[in-house]
Every structure is written in C-alpha cells, then in structure tokens.
A = this chain, B = another copy of it.
Amino acid sequence: MTKYESSSEDRLVLKLRSGYNIGIEVKEISNIIKLQVDEKPIIKNDKISTKEGLENILLLSTGGTIASKIDYRTGAVTPAVTPEELHASVPELAEIANITPKILFSEYSENLQPEHWIKIAEELNNVKDSDYKGIIIAHGTDTMQYTASYLSFALAGFPIPIAMVGSQRSSDRPSSDAALNLIAASRFLTNTDEKGVFVIMHHNENDDAVAVHIGTRVRKNHTSKRGAFQTVGGIPAFLILNEKIQKNISEKFFKQKEYSPRINLDTKVALVKYHPGYDSKILDVIVESGFKAIIFEGTGLGHVGKTMYKSIKKANERGIFLGMTSQCIDGRVRMTVYESGRDLLDMGIKPLLNMIPETALVKAMWATGNAKNIDEINNLMLTNIASEFSD
C-alpha cells in the first residue's frame, strides 16, 4: 500500500486478496519476490456516446467525493471512480448532453493547492474557443469555494459557462447527491448563456431543488448535510426545480465583457482571524517573512484589538496590502462607525465591503500575483470583477 506521510517508517502494509491489510515489520523481511504485475485500467478520453442535436459538455474531474466510493471493508471513502464510471452510473446524462470526460487529478479537495488551481485554469483556457456549451468541474466540496473564487478572477470573462459540482455523499451510497447535482448542472449548462463560475449543489434536504451559486459568494456552511452550500447574504443565483430553471439575478457574473485571463498568483498571503488574546508576534512573523498581503477576519463591522496596532503599522510601512473582512461572514464591513475602525483605516487597512473572507484571501493571492505594485493591488482588490461584492 502507498505510504501515508503519517505511516510508520518501519512497517510495510500489504493489501490481501480478501481486502484486509496486514502490516509487516521491515526488519523481519529477508526477501521480496515479484510474482505478478496488475494491469492498470485504460482511461478513455473520448466521448462516451454521441447523440445528434445534443450540446457538448466537457466534464473535468479533479477528485473528491463525487468521484469516489465507499470502501466497505474500512468504512472510509476512497477516490476511485473515473468520469466514465460516473457517467455510466448516471444514465440520464446521455439524454441531456454529449459529455466528454477527462481526469485532471484524483485528489480530495483538502489536498488541492494553488498550483492545482493554475492547472485547472490552463486546461480551461485551452478550450476557450471550443464548441463546448458548458464545462463541468467535478471537485471535492471541502475547498470548492476557494477554487471557484480563483477561477472567477483568473478567467474573468471566460466565454463558456463553468459549473463546479461536488457531492456530500459518495455516488454508490443511496443518499448520494452526485447524480442529482450532475443532472442539474448539465440541464443548467445546456439551457443557459450566462457566463460565470457557478457552484451547483443540492439546495436543501428535499430532492426537488438544486441551487446555482455565484462562485465568489458561496460557502460550505455545514460539515455533512447535502444542502451545505449557501450563498452568503442572499439567495442562489438560479434554482433548478426538475426541468425548470428559475433565475434570481439580474446582473452579469463578470463585470467586464471581454475575456482577459490573468492566471498568475502569489501564495504569500495570510488570513489573520482576530480574537481576544491573539498573539501579535504571529502577525510580526508574517510581516517579516515576505508576505505581500494580509486579509484580516476582524470582529463585527471590521475591528481588531489595539494590541494589534503596532504590528499593523509595521505591515503598512512595509507596503503590504491590508484588507479587512468580518468573521461574522454575513453583512458588510463598515469602518467609519467606531473609533477602532477609524484607527485601522488610518493605518492603511482597506475595508473589503461584503467580500467573504475566503474569497478575499484568494483574490489577494491572485491580485498580488498579477499586479505590478501596491496601487495596482489596491485597485484590483476594490474593483468588482466577478460579483465578489454584492448589494
């Protein structure tokens, strides 16, 4: 078995034909003989079935529960399903669109890093002139909102609608939402010309509605339930009620018409969640370690305690971008109401209105990766690019 980073160095784990694992002390092994090599399954990248008159959709798989099944021996969920298997397990899809599946990675989304985001963006940029009516990205739910935010900024104006789809229960479980979400996403993409990066997930505990969220305004707000994703401070942009698509937004997702990809990013950005007793020495370390931006998750309308002021002044003097969001998550940062807010404005902190903290973090990585100087970073951070600010 592949070693986990946490597994013991002095033990070798083998999977038996029965499915059980055994561990063998390395020092007890005197000889190893290779008896047989397992053939790898062939991964096909062609269209699975093609029907005249149906639109084409690209299904990029990055991993996650939507592309996994339960290991009935351990009770754990493991990433195992190919897009072909996924497609085959949801036969309804073939009636909605001609779907081209492609595996990009096979990772749970807690292990996806900014370098994976870039690979996804490059893959999408390569098909910008294709005849795909829409693109589905199958993705783990843990960090889906982070990837959605990055793609929204990096691919601003992208001409083909993008739907990120995940599931909270693996596709071989009876309560799985994988099929429902995939079908809804395919219906949405074949019926819309709405550009944008959307997160399409189960709406509530019933099976009658799937929500289409704006990728920069969505949050996973529950660890396990199927309707875990919510649009912060508003209702979903669209609701898919069986075959009916209800539109709830009037504004465009992207605030510019032309497609202008800016795929770079810089990960030297920190998210600092303030709390009583926060040790400002940690902030000092961030300031002194070459970070280019700090997003604060302040309290209430956008505050931090006075114990942080000295370190914040230092950060400002170094030309680090300082942005304020709120740990309340919902509502708008307003730093002119109280003394504390005014103090922080004087120290150069920029209020990021109602941008949600995780989106602000990703936007700051993207802005510092693409801007030439602090003025340009300030300007990018405060310009509404992909509906990250809402009324």
Q: Which residues of A contact B (CB under 8 A)?
A: 4-7, 75-78, 108-114, 116-117, 140-143, 146-147, 220-225, 228, 267-271, 273-277, 279, 281-282, 285-286, 289, 297-307, 309-310, 313, 326-334, 336-340, 342-343, 346-347, 358, 361, 365
Contacts and interface: CB of A to CB of B under 8 A. Distances in A.
Given A142-B300, A281-B289, A342-B76, A273 B275 contact: no
A146 B223 contact: no
B289 A267 contact: no
Chain B CB within 10 Å, residue with most, of A224, A228, A274, A342: A224
Contacts of A225: 331
A271 B273 contact: yes
A303 B112 CA distance: 12
Given A113-B307, A273-B273, A76 B338 contact: yes
A200 to B, nearest CB: 18
B331 A275 contact: no
A340 B141 CA distance: 14
A-B pairs with the 7 shortest C-beta distances?
A223-B331, A142-B299, A110-B303, A142-B300, A267-B277, A222-B331, A114-B277
Contacts of A275: 143, 146, 271, 358, 361
Contact of A279 (B6, B146, B267): B267
A146 B113 contact: no
B220 A5 contact: no
Contacts of A304: 110
A224 B334 contact: yes
Given A75-B336, A273-B273, A326 B6 contact: no
18 contacts: A6-B313, A6-B343, A76-B339, A76-B342, A108-B338, A112-B305, A113-B277, A142-B303, A221-B329, A222-B331, A223-B328, A223-B331, A223-B332, A273-B297, A277-B365, A282-B285, A282-B289, A285-B285
B282 A340 contact: no
Nearest to A306: B111
A109 B305 CA distance: 8
Nearest to A147: B276
Contacts of A309: 5-6
A220 B326 CA distance: 10
Contacts of A336: 75-76
Contacts of A269: 277
A14 to B, nearest CB: 18
Contact of A110 (B147, B228, B285, B340): B340
Nearest to A300: B142
Nearest to A303: B110
Given A220-B299, A220-B300, 9 more contacts: A75-B337, A110-B300, A114-B276, A142-B303, A143-B276, A223-B326, A224-B301, A282-B285, A327-B358
A225 B328 CA distance: 11
